[in-house]
């Protein structure tokens, strides 16, 4: 009996001492070959834009912050000159060789644009059906991605009306100053097969703002819209983000359409030149005034770009949820990290009368 008791006690001690273990983590001793991150998008009849950044381990990432200690303060101009560049500038790769091979033949070299911190070539305009392979090389590191530009989608504005009451006055903690909304009935004409879409709806406006130092136009916009249609339901998005309601996604496939037309209704807030949707960077004298309007844009996107956008939406919701599983951002890059997506679009403007 005593032997049994001591055996059980020994087993409990062993189990209690082995249920937790501390492991020291050390990063690689030197830079790895796959330390480039590429983010690129090809827009039909638009531009191929490639962003290259250095990929870092979590404990090595140069954080984005204001370096007040080394800032130079200009008292007369009330401006700070920070000697530390921001995160994008500090991680951007500027001296890589970037090429795009189109349809297995034509090759274009992409050049770095210091203003946009990206690579592009103005001589190449992506077209529907183009097969694009982008390769970026720097030293021993090389990353490549590819895509095929999808066919142009079709969306119709069936009808619209202006509602004087705004039922979305306060949504997800954001105060929406709009005093009216536009209710739009839309119809997507699906081509069948496996199709993937993103619906962008943006209300925008400019307001004349005279000041003692000049007359300006203030540009404001509102990207969030609302709908009860099941087309926009994603049960994985269990929390709201950036004003978007929980369970709402503007990225979807054509499983509900099945190659036929599909009609739905959306509500769009009217934009006003006031917070939180004002863009202070566009308060300038030479800004062209924009009439109050709504931009409706249906994008046909590639399967890879669809998976990438979905993973980003899941990540944004999950990063503040301690009980959610980690979300890995989708990548189609070979030899590194990142995404090359492509899209074509059908765009309409509706005046907010």
pLDDT tier, 30 (very low <50, low <70, confident <90, very high otherwise)? very low
Query: Are residues 158 and 351 in contact, defined by beta-carbon separation less than 8 angstroms?
Result: no
Q: Is residue 202 domain-shared with residue 80, that is, in the same domain? A: no
pLDDT tier, 71 (very low <50, low <70, confident <90, very high otherwise)? very low
Domain termination residue (choose one: 148, 171, 197): 148
pLDDT at 213: 61
**Domain containing 89 — which CATH number?**
2.60.40
| 4: three-class secondary structure by DSSP | helix
Q: Is residue 98 domain-shared with residue 203, that is, in the same domain? A: no
Mean pLDDT of 17-33: 39
Mean pLDDT of 262-288: 66
Q: Is residue 143 domain-shared with residue 177, that is, in the same domain? A: no
Query: Are residues 166 and 175 in contact, defined by beta-carbon separation less than 8 angstroms?
Result: no
pLDDT at 25: 36
Mean pLDDT of 154-173: 85
Q: Is residue 310 domain-shared with residue 208, that is, in the same domain? A: yes
Q: Write the DSSP string, 216-253.
A: EEEEEEE--EE---GGGB-TT--S-BTTBPTTB-SEEE
pLDDT at 266: 97
pLDDT tier, 187 (very low <50, low <70, confident <90, very high otherwise)? very high
User: How crowded is residue 24: how many other Cβ atoms within 10 Å of its Cβ?
Assistant: 4
Q: Is residue 96 domain-shared with residue 198, that is, in the same domain? A: no
Q: What is the pTM of this model?
A: 0.79
Q: Is residue 248 domain-shared with residue 298, that is, in the same domain? A: yes
- Most confident of the ranges 64-68, 268-272, 308-312: 308-312
- The closest alpha carbon to 206, from 276, 274, 297, 296, belongs to 274
pLDDT at 200: 95
Query: Are residues 197 and 189 in contact, defined by beta-carbon separation less than 8 angstroms?
Result: no
* Number of domains the chain is built from: 2
Mean pLDDT of 313-342: 82
Mean pLDDT of 169-195: 82
Query: Are residues 127 and 44 in contact, defined by beta-carbon separation less than 8 angstroms?
Result: yes
Q: Is residue 162 domain-shared with residue 122, that is, in the same domain? A: no
């Amino acid at each position: 009996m005593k032997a049994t008791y001591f055996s059980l006690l020994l087993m409990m001690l062993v189990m209690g001492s082995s249920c937790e273990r501390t492991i020291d983590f050390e990063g690689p001793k030197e830079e790895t070959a796959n330390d480039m991150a590429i983010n690129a998008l090809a827009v039909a009849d638009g531009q191929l834009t490639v962003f290259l950044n250095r990929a870092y381990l979590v404990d090595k990432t140069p954080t984005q912050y204001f370096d007040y200690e080394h800032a130079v303060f200009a008292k007369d101009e009330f401006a700070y000159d920070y000697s530390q560049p921001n995160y994008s500038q500090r991680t951007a790769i500027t001296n890589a060789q970037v090429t795009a091979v189109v349809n297995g033949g034509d090759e274009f070299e992409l050049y770095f644009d210091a203003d946009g911190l990206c690579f592009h070539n103005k001589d190449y305009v992506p077209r529907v059906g183009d097969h694009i392979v982008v390769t970026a090389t720097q030293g021993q590191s090389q990353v490549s991605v590819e895509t095929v530009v999808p066919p142009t989608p079709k969306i119709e504005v069936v009808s619209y009306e202006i509602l004087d009451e705004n039922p979305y006055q306060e949504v997800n903690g954001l105060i929406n100053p709009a005093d009216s909304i536009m209710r739009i009935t839309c119809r997507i004409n699906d081509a069948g097969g496996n199709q993937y879409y993103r619906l962008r709806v943006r209300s925008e406006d400019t307001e004349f703002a005279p000041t003692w130092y000049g007359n300006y136009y203030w540009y404001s916009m509102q990207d969030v819209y609302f709908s009860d249609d099941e087309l926009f339901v994603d049960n994985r998005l269990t929390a709201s983000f950036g004003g978007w309601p929980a369970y709402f996604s503007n990225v979807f496939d054509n499983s509900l359409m099945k190659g036929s037309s599909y009609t739905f209704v959306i509500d769009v807030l009217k934009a006003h030149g006031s917070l939180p949707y004002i863009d202070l960077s566009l308060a300038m004298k030479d800004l062209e005034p924009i009439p109050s309007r709504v931009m409706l844009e249906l994008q046909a996107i590639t399967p890879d770009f669809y998976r990438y956008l979905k993973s980003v939406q899941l990540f944004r919701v999950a990063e503040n949820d301690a009980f959610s599983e980690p979300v890995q951002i989708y990548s189609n890059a070979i030899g590194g990290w990142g995404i090359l997506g492509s899209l074509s679009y059908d765009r309409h403007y509706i005046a907010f009368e």
